């Protein structure tokens, strides 16, 4: 189920958002007391809720272009035809938002797993260049190679043979 709270101003919308945990925020860009971007989550890394802007067909193309160019809103829906399918659009927007949140959380987990792993680790590409290292590696007494430094020659057959014994997920990345 979904509760709907109507707000006729940015101020009342912000009060409603702070009082509840919305799943999604729908708005028109022309609220009387402020900029609709104030409805965006204040934390830039927030996974709180998507914001969808609804424009009527009479809105100037410049308004749509301006909103789209910011890339801060999750969706801008312009036509009445698109708004006629709003429930399906919202469902799709929510699914995409949840997927984006899940991917961000997995990425954050993997970064933390690498960075805080007690085993010193260095990531190199297939040419032997250092791409990154974790925090444990930085605490070692031995010198840490600089990012971009070459640990081994990409033509070193002994190292290449050793690399191919690693599981695929642990092999050096090819240069981009």
DSSP string, 60-100: -HHHHHHHHHH--SSEEE--HHHHHTHHHHHHHHHHHHHHH
pLDDT value for 132: 87
Q: Tell me what the pLDDT averaged over the chain comes to.
A: 75
pLDDT tens digits along 30-65:
777 777 777 777 765 555 788 777 776 666 566 556
Are residues 145 and 128 in contact, defined by beta-carbon separation less than 8 angstroms? no
pTM: 0.58
More confident residue, 76 or 39: 39
Which is it for the CA torsion 81, 82, 83, 87, positive or negative? positive
More confident residue, 87 or 79: 87
More confident residue, 104 or 90: 104
Q: Cα–Cα distance between 33 and 51 in angstroms, integer?
A: 18
Instruction: Write the CB contacts of 14 (distance below 8 Å, at least 6 apart in sequence).
Output: 38, 39
pLDDT value for 105: 92
pLDDT tens digits along 114-171:
999 888 888 888 778 888 888 887 777 777 677 888 877 656 666 666 655 555 555 5
Number of Cβ within a 10 Å radius of residue 136 = 15
What is the average per-residue pLDDT within 86-113?
Answer: 87
pLDDT value for 96: 85
Is 164 strand, coil or helix?
A: helix
What is the average per-residue pLDDT within 3-31?
Answer: 81
| Ranges 6-20, 83-97, 154-168: which has the least confidence | 154-168
What is the average per-residue pLDDT within 94-103?
Answer: 87
pLDDT value for 174: 59
Read off the pLDDT band of 110 (50, 70, 90): very high
């Amino acid at each position: 189920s979904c509760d709907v709270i109507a707000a006729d101003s940015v101020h009342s919308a912000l009060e409603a958002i702070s009082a509840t945990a919305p799943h999604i925020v729908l708005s028109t860009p022309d609220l009387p007391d402020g900029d609709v971007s104030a409805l965006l989550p204040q934390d830039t890394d927030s996974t709180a809720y998507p914001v969808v802007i609804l424009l009527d067909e009479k809105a100037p193309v410049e308004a749509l272009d301006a909103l789209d160019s910011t890339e801060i809103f999750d969706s801008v829906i312009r036509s009445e035809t698109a708004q006629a399918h709003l429930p399906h659009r919202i469902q799709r927007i929510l699914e995409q938002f949840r997927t984006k949140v899940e991917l961000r959380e997995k990425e954050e987990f993997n970064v933390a797993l690498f960075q805080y792993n007690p085993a010193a680790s260095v990531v190199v590409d297939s040419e032997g260049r250092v791409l990154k290292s974790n925090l444990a590696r930085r605490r070692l007494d031995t010198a840490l190679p600089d990012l971009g430094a070459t640990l081994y020659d990409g033509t070193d057959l002994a190292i290449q043979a050793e690399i191919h014994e690693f599981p695929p997920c642990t092999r050096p990345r090819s240069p981009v």
